[in-house]
Structure 1
Amino acid sequence: MRNDKHGLYKMLEDGYEGCGGFLDGSYLTQHPREDAGKYGMRRELAYYLNYLAPCVNAHVAPIFKTLAVRDWSGAGSELWETFSKDVDFLGTSIQNLMKQAACSAKLQGVAYIVMDKAQGDAEDMRVADLEADRNNLPYAFVVNLNAVKEICQDKLGRITKFVFMEPDAYQEQTMATRTLTAEGWELIDSKGKHSGTWNLGRVPVVPLVSKVRNSHNPFPPSEFLSIAKTNLAIYNMCSWLADILVNQTFSVLCYPSSDPDSINIGTNNALGYPPESSHAPAFIAPPDGPATVLAAQIATLQQEIYRMAVVVNVTGSSKQQSGQAKAWDYEATNQILSDFADLVEAAEENLARLFSIWTGVPLEYSVNYPNDFKISEVEQELANAEIAKGLNFGDEFNMEVFKRVLTSYLPELKVDDFDALVKTYEEHLEQEKLDYSHAFGDNGGGDDDDDGQAGAAD
């Protein structure tokens, strides 16, 4: 299927970033009776109230507020650890890569993560060679959906061909076209056509959708499209309101004059009327009805945006609600975030499997993102952890409780520090086992000696 939504994706990106047509005013609708000069002035005075970005961020940021709990094992452990700290040769961690993909997926409906390898590298390399040089490992990046030209799928929804544009390495301001299939790749740039093969058995692309859908549409509709269109309407209304305020805010002075026709009407002068009239000098102003209607409509659309986004934690979205209504709102938001966190987990684990295929080294990988986003105090989390540990479900259970405590109590902890604390706690658990074993053994031995001595005495 060819991508025929470039204009739509551009509008969504511009709406999120506040750039493009929202910056230069080209998204403003020109009135049929508005001349070019007036329209140009209105474009210069336009301002953009960005409601789209906070709503999208509210669906993504809570998932990445704390560090995801990742576990991996197998011969490819060291390779994955190296890759996870720098997935794209630019220092981007796996956590930040998935956050980029999650933001793109929520905004545009889907995000595609491509995992490739430097051209010319041998497919089959020894583990020692892979460990010796980071450049021998694959790299991953999120493809801008506006750069995707075509995606083909089989009847099960699996990608069979992925075509996208990338900057030409040999000529500036030029785009090259890269095609990925299960059998290999093809690149068409200013130097001609290049191609290669691989034995991956699949297209090295991992999709991340914003929500579970029944269809296999590679370009699903964005769930924030209605919000983006509403934000566009607010953008136009704000421009109309500003135009009214600029042209009609300042009142005009009226006073008696023997030569009223010689005075130009404006906010910097006055309007004269015949002196023989009985009217006293006064200020006149146009009615405020149109401006009041526009301001009320803007406020209404703002609340509609927050309603459609199902957000209750964005400044400006608050309204008078009963306790039960607030509870339902938080429950709905929590469920949306939890469902999306599951999709992010699945995409990252899929990426790890693809990494294992690329390197030819076995890797067992699992990741757990936060799935409970209810507001809770740290003290309550610690109290719950203490109760859970007291259940004595074993060291593995205690380790998972410890990881949850770390993510709740120290959300800004870096990956290396997190791993170091986990390792220290593992050593602590092992030491507790040894201490308990020695103590139990000593006590048992002591009882036997006492019994023996008692028997000898008898």
Structure 2
Amino acid sequence: MVPDTTRYLFIAHALEGAGGFRPKVWTDKDGLNPKLSGPSYLVRYPRESAEKFARRNEVAWYRNFLKPACIRFAGYLAKKPPRRTVDHPLLDRMAADCDWQGNSLDVFWSAFAVEAKARGSMLLLVDMPKAVPLDRASQIEQRAYPYLVPIKPELVVDYTLNVQGLFESVAIASTAEYQGQTIDVWRVWDTVEWRVQRPGENGEVLENGDHGLGVCPVLAFTESGVFPHYGDFEQIAVLSRRYFNAASERDEILRGQTFSLLTYQIPPEAPPADLASVTETVGTSNMLIHNGDTPAFIAPPDGPATIYNEVIAGLEETIRRIAMTVEQPTQAESGVALTIRFQELNSALTSFARRMEDLERRMWDLACRWLGIQNRTESVWPKSFELADVGQELTVLQQMQTSGFPDAVIREGMKTVAGLQFATAEPETMDAMIVAIDEATLQTGVSA
């Protein structure tokens, strides 16, 4: 099967501000005759000339909403790192350097989560170096243990799934050095072997080998559990394209209608004027002499630009809601609305963490298959994030103290605030804080 890679590629462009969001315009040596060279996500007007459309692309700018939203989401996820138990020296080394680039597993997962949240799907290859020494010391010295490779779904050119929904085979578009040249190839993995072949289902096999795992070493992560899947943040990419066009259209209005025009009224009884001869450029270095009515400037109405500003503001607000951006409540948004948005974010984080936990469990299983050892690794991702506004919780706590709530209730409120403020603290540190709150409140009383 071949996935709809065009959707994934569009999301990737929105995430990186590339492709049609960064159009390229070429001009001649004098800066004239502009031509659009490459894709553009700006929509051309029906009667817009190619030169004018190229000029509009030349000054177009892209505001990236998707990447900050994904980074923020991954940041919340990283506030509560998973707890894992690794009982093998090679696996412990792998957790410290999981991608052959010196990145720890938690750092790798944070970057992986950004890409996965944007698309709703990502692939993970659990691979192994070709040459593996027999003794463990040499394995550690030569880094001869499994490593992870993230694969973007827009690179997938073919795949098959088994009845469980797991990959039986995956082919991705790539390049390789062959006979002194860089050529396009497919890199294919299935349940028996890996191979590098020329593009096409029956392309010439350039290199191959058996992996002996019995399963495909490529794993799929999706927010729904079924590949392919497009996540909720795809809407941000679509709205970003509309924002890209709306901003360009507004700039075109400002560019064409902002400048005021000097007018001079000719009395009806005056002889016909030669308009070509009276056209002048008036500036601060000129003096204008006139008879009769005073010259004046006329300016176009600001209605069209104002409407565009309102449309753009509406797009920004819609994107903020889809991205589950939590900010201090304003006059337009009550504290209750902010609380609901926190609940939506907590729910999304919990669901995403559970999928990540399942992916890591399957990753460790493949790593142990590569090493020929039994998998005793345990990894537990957080099941609850409990994000909330600390300032608002402090206000509630102060109101409870003022209203004379029982000491036991105030004590629990203090623990809640401490848990929110120090969410990234180690469990032992958090336990010590809870004990300190109990001891302090029992000795002095929370109402003091």
Question: Aligned to 2:21, what secondary structure does the other structure show?
Answer: helix
- What does residue 339 of structure 2 align with? 327
Does the 8 Å contact 1:114/1:140 carry over to 2?
A: yes
Match of 2:7, as an amino acid?
L
Map of 1:443 onto structure 2: none
Query: TM-score, with normalisation over the residues of structure 2?
Result: 0.75
**More helix, by proportion:** 1
Q: Do 2:166 and 2:220's aligned partners in 1 also have CA atoms closer than 8 Å?
A: no
The answer on whether the counterparts of 2:132 and 2:139 sit within 8 Å (CA) in structure 1 is: no
Q: 3-state SS of the aligned residue for 2:320?
A: helix
Q: Match for residue 424 of structure 2?
A: 408
For residues 296 and 45 of structure 2, what CA distance do their matches in structure 1 show? 33
Answer yes or no: is 1:199 the counterpart of 2:176: no
Name the residue aligned to 1:80.
91
Paired residue secondary structure (1:186): strand
SS in 1 for 2:85: strand
Deviations 1:17-43 (Å, cap 9, x if unpaired)?
Answer: 122221226211111111111111111
Amino acid at match of 2:343: E
Indicate the RMSD between aligned Cα atoms, in angstroms. Answer: 3.5
Percent identical: 26
- Structure 2 residue runs without a partner (length 5+): 25-39, 267-272, 285-289, 395-407, 409-419, 433-448
**Secondary structure in 2 aligned to 1:196?**
strand
Q: Could you tell me whether the CA contact under 8 Å between 2:232 and 2:322 is conserved in 1?
A: no
Deviations 1:314-349 (A, max 9, x none): x9x966222322222111111111111111122112
- The answer for the alignment partner of 2:442 in structure 1 is none
Distance 1:67 1:318 in 2: 32
Q: CA deviation at 1:126?
A: 5.2
Equivalent position of 2:444 in the other structure: none
TM-score under structure 1 length normalisation: 0.73
Match of 1:337 among 324, 349, 353: 349
Distance 1:329 1:138 in 2: 40
User: For 1:52, which of 62, 66, 73 is the aligned residue?
Assistant: 66
| Aligned counterparts of 1:32 and 1:267: Cα–Cα separation in 2 | 35
1:133 aligns with 2:142: yes
The match for 1:110 among 102, 109, 121 is 121
In 2: Cα distance, 1:194 partner to 1:354 partner: 22
8 Å contact from structure 1 (residues 227, 309) kept in 2: yes
Q: How does 1:235-250 map to 2 (within 5 A)?
A: 235-250=244-259
- Post-superposition shift, 1:113? 0.6
Residue aligned with 2:357, SS: helix
Question: Which amino acid letter does the alignment assign opposite residue 222 of structure 1?
Answer: G
Q: Is the alpha carbon distance of 1:94 and 1:318 closer, same or farther for their aligned partners in structure 2, counting shifts above 3 Å?
A: farther
Q: In the alignment, which residue of structure 2 is the partner of 1:95?
A: 106
Given the superposition, is the C-alpha separation of residues 196 and 35 from structure 1 closer, same or farther in structure 2, using an over 3 Å criterion?
same
Q: CA deviation at 1:50?
A: 1.7
CA pair 61-197 structure 1, distance change in 2 beyond 3 A? same
The equivalences for 1:285-296 within 5 A come to 285-296=299-310
Q: Could you tell me which amino acid in structure 2 is paired with residue 197 of structure 1?
A: D
SS of equivalent residue, structure 1 residue 163: strand
Task: Tell me the amino acid that sits aligned with residue 113 of structure 1.
Answer: L
Higher relative contact order (CA 8 A, sep 6+): 1
Offset of 1:207 from its aligned partner? 1.7
Is the 8 Å Cα contact of residues 339 and 388 (structure 2) preserved in structure 1?
no
Q: In structure 1, give the amino acid aligned to 2:277.
A: S
1-structure distance, mates of 2:323, 2:45: 30
Contact 2:167–2:220, Cα closer than 8 Å, also in 1:
no
Any gaps of 5 or more consecutive residues in structure 1?
270-274, 381-386, 388-403, 411-417, 426-458
Task: Rate the CA distance shift 1:267–1:45 in 2: closer, same or farther, 3 A.
Answer: farther
Q: Would the alpha carbon gap of residues 173 and 232 (structure 1) be closer, same or farther in structure 2, given more than 3 Å must change?
A: farther
1:176 aligns with 2:185: yes
Alignment check: 8 A CA contact 1:2 1:150 kept: yes
Q: Give 2:364's aligned residue.
A: 352
